[in-house]
Amino acid sequence: MQRISSGLLRNLSCSILSANALKHRTFTACSVNRILRNFRQQEPTVPGHFLKWVSLGFVRTSRFATGFTPLQPKPLDSIIDMERAKEKSPEDLASIWDDYHLGRGHIGATMKSKLYHLLVQRAADCRYFVIPLWRGSGYTTMFAQVQMPHILFTGLEDYKARGTQAAPYFTASFYTEFAESKDLVLIRGDVVFTSKLTDEEAKWLLETAQSFYLNDARYKLVERFNKETRDFEFKDVLRALDMPIL
């Protein structure tokens, strides 16, 4: 089918989200493990009030959220013209979705339904993980909370200091409206703190987080972090990502 992006993109541009605003430290592997041990000792159960963590919007802000607000993602039909989208092939729709987010301060991605269902299944059992984000001569450790259809990332240090009051640096929402008809799940990512995370870093975090949940070997580390914390070694994550152990 011929790719017809201009018409749908015009409709997309007329329905951009207008949601309310979301109201580096470099660690060594040893210090991260120490933080995680203390974290588990002080809070034996990671706060499960995920839906009360912070309001999920798509307007950038520079302040930490105060109080608890349920996640309120915009429905897909407020982003795209659903009727026009239904006429597109999966390939065209994925391409249009990706192109629409280029240069707009957001990230567009897609995945197959089978992989999405695997992600949902594994995230239900293991909601949390830590990912090193390499910067120059060291890395900043990010804390990921996965409760599908959302993934939220914040700095581990900020989460340690503020707990459920800590606002995410980056959020990702998964839309399943075309999962059955087109075997396609649409993903929208939003960088909340541009001072803490670039779009390129956010895209890498999203791809890396998914790889740890979808790759069988890497998922063993996620399971160990959630279920066998005493045996979890941060250096194993560094090795999996081919990062130096500082």
**Average model confidence (pLDDT) across the chain:** 77
Structural domain of residue 94, as residue ranges?
80-241
- 45 domain-assigned: no
**pLDDT above 60 for 51:** no
Predicted local confidence at residue 28, as pLDDT: 56
Tokens linked to 217: 């070997």
- 41 domain-assigned: no
- 219 domain-assigned: yes
- 104 domain-assigned: yes
In the predicted model, what is the mean pLDDT of residues 217-229? Answer: 96
pLDDT band for 36, please (50, 70, 90 cuts): low
Q: Check whether the bond before 149 is cis (ω within 30° of 0).
A: yes
pLDDT band for 114, please (50, 70, 90 cuts): very high
- 230 domain-assigned: yes
- 40 domain-assigned: no
Which residues sit opposite 139 in a β-bridge? 134
- 39 domain-assigned: no
Predicted local confidence at residue 15, as pLDDT: 29
CA 84, 89, 91, 93: dihedral to nearest 10 degrees?
Answer: 10
- 33 domain-assigned: no
Tally the domains of the chain: 1
Which residues lie below 8 Å from residue 144, measured CB to CB, with a gap of 6+? 128, 129, 130, 131, 151, 152, 153, 205, 209
